């Protein structure tokens, strides 16, 4: 059977670049906001969230046709898990490759943002982990997973770019954690001691909360959309689904 699936190395490059640019947008706009509005944290968050909404939407449109534009280990993990019964979605080897690419991209994006603004790359001292922010990460991640996979299950994946961008933008404000909802972004933000940074000590709690949130999202998805597992190849956006063995 002829396949149009891009080879794994190309998809990995797309995931690395997409995640790097996403973190670069988050960190870079955070630095810019801090410089432009040094005395107004609310305005800083508005500037940071607006840039993230617009940037994430563009990145999904740009890289989605190549890799599906996951840019997020919990999305890739859910994709692998949901696809096991129907033999769709990522294989275990592809999952590992995606996650490594996303993590490398996340760190690289933070370093790039620091360099553009001539801010030294240093480990963040910004502690974020509290009971409230960890609950916020559970909520943010569960909603993100449910949104992405419900769109695929109902064949509306073409709407993922604006929908995911809108959700993350809203979650900046309605969650106490400002919605990291992504282990790769969380790890990347360690390397910028700026508005968008997070202290290493807060990261394990955030990642655990994100994994719990992903499990909640998958559970709700299976309850509400039983056929979701058959559409794992259309996550985050529809892309070629035939495996080519590359």
Query: pLDDT of 169-191, one tens digit each?
Result: 999 999 999 999 999 999 999 99
pLDDT of residue 172: 97
Mean pLDDT of the residues in the chain = 93
Torsions phi, psi for 32 (to 5 deg): -60, -45
Region for residue 121 given its phi and psi (left: phi exceeds 0; alpha: psi -120 to 50; beta: otherwise) = beta
Stated pTM of the model: 0.93
Is pLDDT of 243 > 70? no
CA 218 to chain centre: 16
pLDDT of residue 230: 73
* Averaged pLDDT, 212-216: 98
6: DSSP letter: P
Contact 149/70 with Cβ under 8 angstroms? no
Going from N- to C-terminal start, the domains of the chain cover 8-227
Percentage with pLDDT > 90 across the chain: 84
Contact 111/24 with Cβ under 8 angstroms? no
pLDDT of residue 241: 55
pLDDT of residue 240: 66
Residues in the chain: 246
Q: Which of 78-87, 90-99, 138-147, 157-166 has the lowest mean pLDDT?
A: 78-87
- Gap between the terminal Cα atoms of the chain: 14
Is pLDDT of 80 > 90? yes
Note the pLDDT tens digit of each residue in 111-163. Answer: 999 999 999 999 999 999 999 999 999 999 999 999 999 999 999 988 999 99
Q: Does domain 8-227 have CATH number 3.40.1360.10?
A: no
* Averaged pLDDT, 63-76: 96
pLDDT of residue 113: 98
pLDDT of residue 95: 97
């Amino acid at each position: 059977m002829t396949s149009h699936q891009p080879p794994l190395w190309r998809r990995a490059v797309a995931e690395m670049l997409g995640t790097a640019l996403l973190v670069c947008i988050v960190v870079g706009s955070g630095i810019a906001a801090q410089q432009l509005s040094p005395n107004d944290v609310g305005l800083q968050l508005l500037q940071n969230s607006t840039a993230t909404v617009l940037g994430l939407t563009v990145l999904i449109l740009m890289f989605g046709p190549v890799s599906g534009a996951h840019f997020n280990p919990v999305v890739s993990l859910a994709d692998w898990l949901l696809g096991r019964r129907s033999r769709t979605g990522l294989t275990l080897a592809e999952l590992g490759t995606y996650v490594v690419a996303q993590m490398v991209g996340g760190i690289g994006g933070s370093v790039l943002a620091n360099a553009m603004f001539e801010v030294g790359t240093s480990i963040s001292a910004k502690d974020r982990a509290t009971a409230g922010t960890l609950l916020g990460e559970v909520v943010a991640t569960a909603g993100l997973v449910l949104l992405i996979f419900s769109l695929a299950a109902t064949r509306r994946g073409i709407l993922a770019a604006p929908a995911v961008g809108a959700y993350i933008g809203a979650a900046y404000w309605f969650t106490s954690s400002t919605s990291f909802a992504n282990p790769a972004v969380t790890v990347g933000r360690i390397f910028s001691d700026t508005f968008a940074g997070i202290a290493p000590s807060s990261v394990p709690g955030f990642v655990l909360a994100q994994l719990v949130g992903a499990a909640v999202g998958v559970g709700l998805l299976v309850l509400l959309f039983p056929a979701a597992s058959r559409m794992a190849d259309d996550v985050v956006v529809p892309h070629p689904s035939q495996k080519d063995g590359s």
